[in-house]
């Protein structure tokens, strides 16, 4: 479980490729990024969101789907839209929609080993909430590989790609963007990071969820799998 683990990464291997030699803070998105998008967790969450909206608005499933997708595309998350339009309790909503089984996720010991070798600090930056993120990290087997996490509550309910959350992340943990790297599977989420001066890595795995491609101007590296990418940039320890 993540949480202010001091000294993580202090003695581990070097980067092989010089374009990453400046990175001291490694920031990762969670969903569809540290586990395969094919796991389909979002389908389960979508089902619970639909049920929540049906109860909230006393509407049928089709109308709930329309409302959900409208808020997602307009506000970045369904939560942000429902908070603005209906003043819902974000803690109640997130607890409800994230109450899903995680048996679709497999443990990834290779990813855990690669994360442990990264020099510097490691963070999760997610539009989800911390309890759900910790459950997923434990299911993957990487819960103890991160120094801390920054969730939607810590971003003042302004989801990625709103720049506010990125600024709060950097302030909270004393991150110098010029020495930080963000990995995310949603291309547009990398734009504010690049504006701040971070190195950006897009996980191009087909999980864009309604976005329309990516611009090279704010994407430094394009990869298909986080674990495989980490293996290519790390050398064996001496």
Please give the pLDDT value at position 216.
77
| Whether residue 126 sits in one domain with residue 81 | no
List pLDDT tens digits, range 77-86: 899 999 999 9
- For 163, phi then psi, to 5°, come to -60, -20
Instruction: Specify the DSSP element, H or E, that contains 221.
Output: strand 221-223
What pLDDT score was predicted for residue 206? Answer: 76
Beta carbons of 219 and 190 less than 8 angstroms apart: yes
Question: Is 141 a domain residue?
Answer: yes
pLDDT of residue 209: 52
Question: Considering the domain boundaries, does residue 27 fall inside one?
Answer: yes
Structural domain of 63: 41-97
Q: DSSP string of 178-189?
A: GGEEEEESSGGG
Write the Ramachandran bin of 149: left for phi over 0, alpha for psi from -120 to 50, otherwise beta. Answer: beta
Q: Are residues 86 and 168 in the same domain?
A: no
Query: What does the pLDDT average to over 62-91?
Result: 93
* Same-domain pairing of 53 and 115: no
Give percent of the chain above pLDDT 70: 88
Residue 13: inside a domain, yes or no? no
222 beta partners = 202
Number of domains the chain contains: 2
Q: Are residues 45 and 128 in the same domain?
A: no
Kind plus residue range of the DSSP H or E element containing 76 = none
Does the pLDDT value for residue 96 go beyond 60?
A: yes
Kindly state whether residue 12 falls inside one of the protein's structural domains: no
Q: Does one domain contain both 74 and 22?
A: no
Residues 73-76: contacts with CB under 8 Å, at least 24 apart: 73/210, 75/159, 76/127, 76/158, 76/159, 76/160, 76/161, 76/162
Contact between residue 126 and residue 29 where contact means Cβ atoms under 8 Å apart: yes
Paired with 125 in beta bridges are 150
Mark which of 97, 116, 131 sits at the end of a domain. Answer: 97
Check: pTM over 0.85? Answer yes or no: yes
Positive or negative CA dihedral for 38, 188, 112, 227? positive
* Mean pLDDT value across the chain: 90
- For residues 139 and 222, state if they share a domain: yes
In this prediction, residue 210 carries a pLDDT of: 44
């Amino acid at each position: 479980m993540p949480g202010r683990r001091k000294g993580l990464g202090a003695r581990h291997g070097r980067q092989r490729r010089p374009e990453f030699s400046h990175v001291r803070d490694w920031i990762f998105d969670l969903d569809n990024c540290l586990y395969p998008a094919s796991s389909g967790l979002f389908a389960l969450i979508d089902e619970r969101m639909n049920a929540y909206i049906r109860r909230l608005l006393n509407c049928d499933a089709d109308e709930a789907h329309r409302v959900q997708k409208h808020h997602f595309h307009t506000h970045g998350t369904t939560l942000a839209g429902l908070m603005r339009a209906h003043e819902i309790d974000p803690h109640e909503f997130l607890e409800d929609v994230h109450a899903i089984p995680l048996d679709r996720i497999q443990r990834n010991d290779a990813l855990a080993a690669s994360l442990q070798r990264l020099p510097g600090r490691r963070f999760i930056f997610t539009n989800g909430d911390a309890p759900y993120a910790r459950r997923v990290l434990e299911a993957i087997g990487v819960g103890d590989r991160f120094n801390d996490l920054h969730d939607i509550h810590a971003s003042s309910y302004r989801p990625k790609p709103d720049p506010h959350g990125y600024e709060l992340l950097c302030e909270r943990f004393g991150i110098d963007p010029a020495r930080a790297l963000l990995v995310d599977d949603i291309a547009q989420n990398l734009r504010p990071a690049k504006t701040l001066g971070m190195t950006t890595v897009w996980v191009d795995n087909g999980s864009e969820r309604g976005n329309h491609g990516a611009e090279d101007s704010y994407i430094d590296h394009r990869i298909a799998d986080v674990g495989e990418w980490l293996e290519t940039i790390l050398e064996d320890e001496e």
